Amino acid sequence: MINRFSSSGCSLTPCYDNPSAITHYTFEAVCGKYRDNTSYVKAAGLAHELKNPLTTVKGFIQLLEPELIKMGKQQQAEILIEEIDRATQLINTFLDVHKPNASKKPFPLHKIVKNIPAIFEGEAKIRGIALTETCEQEDIMVAGHSDQIKQVLINLIKNALDAIEASGPRNNGLVHLRMYRNQAEAFISVEDNGPGIHVQQLNALFLPFYTTKQSGTGIGLTICKNIIEDHGGRIGVESTPGKGTTFTLSLPLHTKES
């Protein structure tokens, strides 16, 4: 039995719940080599070449979809399109992880936090989950890429909604988004009252390709961690099984002197 596979700076390690049953694999990669522009351009070119045939295949499936429906194959056609979209998203997220840093600009963090609940208003209502937001102080400025920070919060809230829904039918689901600050940092927490996460899983949450979801890619939290650390911040998680989970991220404040 292969206990560990390593190649080109990457390692794949199986994890067991007993001597014969593999529960999942952890994937570790030395990704620094993709941080320089030359390597990134090469990787971006390869990604582009991979996406082209996927787009072509998706186009033909959509073209044939009416005939597939007549043949009673609508579900299979939908699954094919979903899997092509998932493969395309995996390529995009790979590039997001390794994209070289562009110049960072100051932006008002509180505006992003206040606008996030509106994005999930319809989805949360359909799922029967309350989504609330608290900004304890406004006019909080940080330096970076506002779209990337928005992406992090969207990912964390989507995970929270999914976790609550996966815990079974209920009418008291709650996700709370909170922003506060001290003298040097801004903090944002995303708290849910879902099923919680077992302590054995907490340390693996930010590893690439580790996921607790059946349909998950295990990339989302890795990207979140990379984005926050690229902004000079930190991200952490606390969880109690049966009570819920809280993700907290911190970002250095932007001042006139910084």
- Give the residue from 98, 117, 137 where a domain finishes: 98
120/223 same-domain check: yes
Dmax (CA) for the chain in angstroms is: 67
Q: What is the pLDDT along the chain (258 residues), one digit of tens a residue?
A: 334 433 333 444 445 454 444 444 343 433 444 444 566 566 666 776 777 788 888 888 888 889 988 999 888 888 888 888 878 877 776 666 566 656 788 999 999 999 888 888 888 888 889 999 999 887 899 999 888 899 899 999 999 999 898 877 666 899 999 999 999 999 999 999 999 988 888 888 888 776 766 666 677 888 889 889 989 999 999 999 989 999 999 999 998 765
- pLDDT at position 5: 38
| Phi–psi pair at 87, nearest 5 degrees | -65, -40
- pLDDT at position 44: 65
What CATH number does the domain containing 229 carry? 3.30.565.10
How far apart (Å, rounded) are the C-alpha atoms in residues 93 and 87? 10
Q: With contact defined as beta carbons under 8 Å apart, do 215 and 158 qualify?
A: no
152/120 same-domain check: yes
- pLDDT at position 232: 94
How far apart (Å, rounded) are the C-alpha atoms in residues 228 and 221? 10
> Which H, E and C letters describe 169-216, residue by residue?
CCCCEEEEEEEEECCCEEEEEEEECCCCCCHHHHCCCCCCCCCCCCCC
- Give the residue from 98, 119, 153 where a domain finishes: 98
Could you tell me if residue 240 is inside a domain? yes
- pLDDT at position 32: 42
Length of the chain: 258
132/49 same-domain check: no
Q: With contact defined as beta carbons under 8 Å apart, do 153 and 113 qualify?
A: yes
Per-position b or e across 108-127, b if 16+ CB within 10 A of its CB = ebbebbbebeeebeeebeeb
How many Cβ atoms from other residues are within 10 Å of residue 239's Cβ?
21
Could you tell me if residue 17 is inside a domain? no
* Domain housing 91: 32-98
85/47 same-domain check: yes
What is the tally of structural domains in the chain? 2
Q: Which residues are bridge partners to 240 per DSSP? A: 244
Could you tell me if residue 228 is inside a domain? yes
The separation between the first and the last C-alpha atoms of the chain, rounded to the nearest angstrom, is 54
| Residues whose CB falls within 8 Å of the CB of residue 178, separated by 6 or more in sequence, listed in order | 133, 134, 136, 188, 189, 191
Residue 190 burial (10 A CB sphere; 0-12, 13-18, 19+): buried
- pLDDT at position 156: 95
- pLDDT at position 75: 86
8-state DSSP, 140:
-
